[in-house]
Amino acid sequence: LALTRDERGRLWFGQGWNGGGASRFDPVTGIESMFTKTNGLPDDSVWALEAGSEGTVWIGTGAGLARANGETIQDENRRLGLPAAAVFGLRRDASGTLWISTARGLYAWNGTNTVSITATNGLPDEHVWSSASARDGIIWIGTQSYGLVGYDGKATTVLDKRDGLAG
């Protein structure tokens, strides 16, 4: 289940493999709205949600990234230079950069440019479920097959079962 609250206090949720698109609930008015492929989502499987600025919401689907702005949904894959791939995780860091975890790598969009962390940068597994930034600048990446991968901008470090992780 993906869940976020936008700047207007509305709750957004999606259900991954269950499909159904993204739902928005306004607790003030009691109005629930549904957004699906017919409204512009790349796919009805919603894996991740992240509130943006000015009431926008980023939506990670089984076929890529979209952005909701009011009642409008825009497919953002081409504009941000992302592959047509499932988006499993979204987060904004303290600087406002949007981190996009996909089935084809990790991407960071700073509002102007998109930077990729993929096999080209030494990422051993491009199926990325999530990411987090550490205080020391290392990006920690949760992968499908290689456990936890640290990336410092130059090289990767893999932590897996040999380091005590469960999987």
**Helix H or strand E encompassing 5:** strand 2-5
User: Does residue 164 carry a pLDDT above 90?
Assistant: no
**What is the pTM assigned to this prediction?**
0.93
| Separation between Cα atoms, residue 132 and residue 83, nearest integer Å | 21
pLDDT exceeds 70 at position 124: yes
Judge whether residue 167 has pLDDT over 70: no
State yes or no: pLDDT of 120 exceeds 80: yes
User: Residue 114's pLDDT is what?
Assistant: 97
Phi, psi of 80 (to 5 degrees): -90, -5
pLDDT per residue as tens digits for the range 45-73: 999 999 998 889 999 999 999 999 988 99
Tell me the C-alpha to C-alpha distance, in Å, between residue 162 and each of 102, 124, 134, 143, 165: 25, 16, 22, 16, 7
